[in-house]
């Protein structure tokens, strides 16, 4: 059995110096997502039941303003959304290959609950549509 530290995201998580002269920000920030996944505890939510778990989570953990329409979060959130039938940001196949899947959601305080659910759905469907799968990040700003 391969140790967890020798698999993605642990192998991709690394520090990258930020150079003010570099114009390629992609290579500077690329390890950030695997670093977060390797180091942080994130709540993981399935896309089951037409994303009902995500709506419920955003309402409760985001302490939504249930008295206003539309509802808005009163705190920021960070969580992982994965396709129903899988778990977390990756899984290891029977052949030992790591398959990535899902979306890291970051949500600002004051974001619309409906917008968070809509953007989670669109982002996850975009990742699923890729032939090889993959991971993504979706940030929902204050409404």
pLDDT tens per residue, range 75-88? 999 999 988 888 77
Write b or e for each residue in 62-78: b if 16 or more Cβ atoms lie within 10 A of its Cβ, otherwise e. Answer: bebeeeeeebbbeeebe
Q: What is the pLDDT of residue 59?
A: 92
CA 66 to CA 107: how far, in whole Å? 17
* pLDDT, tens digit, 9 for 90 and up, residues 56-68: 999 999 998 777 6
For the entire predicted model, the pTM comes to 0.75
Give the start-to-end residue ranges of the domains of the chain.
40-140
Residue 12's pLDDT is 62
Please say whether the beta carbons of 101 and 91 come within 8 A.
yes
């Amino acid at each position: 059995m391969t140790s967890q530290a020798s698999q993605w995201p642990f192998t991709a998580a690394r520090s990258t110096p930020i150079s003010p002269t570099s114009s390629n920000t992609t290579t500077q920030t690329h390890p950030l997502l695997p670093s977060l996944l390797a180091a942080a505890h994130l709540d993981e939510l399935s896309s089951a039941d037409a994303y009902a778990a995500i709506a419920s989570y955003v309402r409760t953990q985001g302490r939504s303003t249930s008295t206003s329409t539309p509802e808005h979060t009163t705190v920021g959130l960070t969580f992982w959304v994965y396709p129903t039938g899988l778990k977390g940001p990756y899984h290891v196949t029977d052949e030992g290959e790591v398959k990535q899947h899902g979306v890291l959601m970051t949500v600002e305080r004051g974001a619309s609950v409906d917008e968070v659910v809509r953007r989670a759905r669109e982002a996850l469907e975009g990742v699923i549509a890729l032939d090889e799968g993959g991971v993504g990040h979706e940030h929902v700003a204050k409404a």
